């Protein structure tokens, strides 16, 4: 029996500017609209957005890393300074970062999902070639000031697509290539392995950043939960995000929001513990306050809806609300939200908030801008399955009406 106490049935928003301190916000995914101009056998026949994701069969995620390390400036510090020892120490960070994400219960992402991590001596191994790669000495225009690391992802919008000699997509939303880059050329940025971090307190913890970037590789966008691994800002030099993984708890660095998001993205149908769902709509107190363009906006878009465990006060999960979709699409901006894969037998307090704090809408754009396609963005797109994403609403407060 599911005992999820839905304390927020509909959240009505009053649209006026207020100052709000940053609250906890939730997991979000990169979204992709299938190419319905193709045959239904390739696109699925629906323009409803699907989250970007890896396949989760055994050995389906291959990973390689370039052993070419920058020496001018030196950007990676290891405890073992021998050539072989340095590579082994870095590879251990990669393996442990993978183990964090495959250590979450209630998902189809298992240790066997990742193939063996291999090494390459290629200088510029990160490329749109269908091979997931990690690079420590590859410059890129994306390294603007303040960027420590990033992941570049290529996602299929239909079945039958392939990059170079990589895998052929079998479904829309499948990630075909995900490359992780660490900034190699900023003399003020140093990354240290966990063993070397205590002796180099001005360095950024490599493991924290690596775990975060693997979240992107799996399909996550950013989260505005301060404690979440997918928070867009790195911990201060010399510190680690959360708790180090251990043999007793491999997923210790993750927040509950990270874990819930992973269960939603890689749902295990045999998981009978995390089957609860909270859903509803976020509606304006005055419908005249909704934007006139694009047409058809009937609810607040882009609010974060957060589920807090009533007993512990911990943020368990949250999501970006404001839209729904049913086949054949397109997305409808009706204020709908859904928070899934919640533990049964618990009670939750639910609230909504705008993204006007530390994390802004710009930092979760893959979760919002990827919800629509139309003839402006894609010539020949069928009009009946076209839509335009409205601007994220960042100026509202909420009052709660009791729900069933």
Q: What angle do CA 14, 20, 21 make, to 5 degrees?
A: 155
Residue 65 near residue 133, CB atoms below 8 Å: yes
User: Based on the structure, what is the number of domains in the chain?
Assistant: 2
pLDDT in tens, the chain (404 residues): 112 222 222 222 222 222 222 222 245 788 999 999 999 999 999 999 999 999 999 999 999 999 999 988 899 999 999 999 999 999 999 999 999 999 999 999 999 999 999 999 999 999 999 999 999 999 999 999 889 999 999 999 999 999 998 999 999 999 999 999 999 988 889 999 999 999 999 999 999 999 999 999 999 999 877 889 999 999 999 999 889 999 999 999 999 999 999 999 999 999 999 999 999 999 887 777 787 789 889 999 999 889 999 999 999 998 888 999 999 999 999 999 999 999 999 999 998 889 988 888 988 888 899 999 999 999 999 999 999 999 999 987 765 555 54
Judgement on whether residues 203 and 281 belong to the same structural domain of the protein: no
In a domain, 1, yes or no: no
**Residue finishing a domain among 160, 187, 218:** 218
Judgement on whether residues 27 and 99 belong to the same structural domain of the protein: no
Range of the domain at 83: 53-218
Judgement on whether residues 38 and 59 belong to the same structural domain of the protein: no
In a domain, 2, yes or no: no
Judgement on whether residues 290 and 185 belong to the same structural domain of the protein: no
> In this structure, what DSSP letter does residue 287 have?
G
Residue 363 near residue 146, CB atoms below 8 Å: no
In a domain, 182, yes or no: yes
In a domain, 243, yes or no: no
Residue 263 near residue 341, CB atoms below 8 Å: yes
Judgement on whether residues 38 and 63 belong to the same structural domain of the protein: no
For residue 379, how many other CB atoms are within 10 A of its CB?
A: 8
Judgement on whether residues 318 and 397 belong to the same structural domain of the protein: yes
Judgement on whether residues 94 and 179 belong to the same structural domain of the protein: yes
Q: What are phi and psi of 51, to 5 degrees?
A: -75, 145
Judgement on whether residues 142 and 174 belong to the same structural domain of the protein: yes
Judgement on whether residues 141 and 290 belong to the same structural domain of the protein: no
> Which class for 81: exposed (0-12), middle (13-18), buried (19 or more C-beta within 10 A)?
exposed
**Residue finishing a domain among 189, 218, 247:** 218
Judgement on whether residues 279 and 329 belong to the same structural domain of the protein: yes
| Percentage helix, strand, coil for the chain under 3-state DSSP, each rounded to 5 | 15, 25, 60
**Residue finishing a domain among 218, 236, 269:** 218
């Amino acid at each position: 029996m599911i005992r999820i106490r839905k304390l927020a049935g509909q959240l009505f928003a009053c649209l006026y500017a207020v100052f709000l301190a940053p609250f906890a916000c939730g997991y979000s995914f990169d979204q992709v609209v299938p190419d319905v101009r193709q045959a239904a056998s390739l696109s699925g026949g629906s323009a409803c957005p699907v989250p970007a994701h890896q396949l989760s069969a055994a050995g389906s995620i291959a990973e390689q890393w370039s052993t070419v390390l920058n020496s001018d400036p030196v950007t990676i510090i290891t405890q073992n300074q021998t050539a072989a020892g340095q590579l082994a120490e870095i590879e251990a960070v990669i393996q442990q970062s993978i183990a964090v994400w495959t250590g979450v219960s209630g998902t189809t992402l298992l240790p066997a999902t990742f193939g063996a991590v291999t090494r390459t001596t290629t200088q510029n191994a990160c490329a749109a070639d269908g091979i997931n790669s990690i690079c420590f000495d590859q410059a890129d225009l994306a390294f603007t000031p303040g960027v420590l690391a990033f992941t570049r992802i290529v996602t299929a919008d239909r079945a039958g697509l392939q990059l170079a000699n990589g895998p052929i997509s079998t479904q829309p939303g499948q990630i075909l290539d995900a490359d992780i880059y660490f900034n190699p050329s900023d003399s003020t940025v140093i990354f240290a392995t966990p063993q070397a971090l205590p002796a180099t307190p001005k360095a950024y913890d490599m493991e924290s950043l690596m775990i975060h970037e693997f979240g992107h590789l799996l399909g996550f966008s950013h989260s505005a939960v301060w404690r979440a691994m997918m928070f867009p800002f790195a911990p201060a030099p010399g510190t680690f995000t959360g708790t180090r993984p251990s043999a007793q708890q491999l997923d210790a660095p993750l927040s509950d929001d990270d874990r819930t998001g992973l269960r939603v993205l890689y749902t295990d149908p045999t998981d009978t513990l995390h089957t609860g769902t909270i859903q509803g709509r976020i509606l304006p107190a005055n419908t005249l306050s909704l934007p006139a363009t694009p047409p058809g906006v009937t609810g607040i878009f882009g609010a974060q809806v957060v589920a807090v465990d009533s007993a512990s006060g911990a943020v368990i999960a949250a999501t970006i609300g404001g839209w729904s979709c049913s086949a054949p699409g397109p997305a409808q901006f009706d204020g709908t939200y859904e928070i899934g894969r919640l533990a049964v037998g618990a009670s939750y307090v639910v609230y909504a908030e705008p993204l006007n704090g530390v994390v802004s809408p710009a930092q979760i754009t893959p979760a919002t801008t990827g919800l629509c396609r139309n003839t402006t963005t894609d010539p020949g797109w069928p009009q009946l399955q076209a839509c335009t994403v409205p601007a994220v609403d960042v100026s509202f407060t909420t009052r709660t009406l009791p729900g069933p």
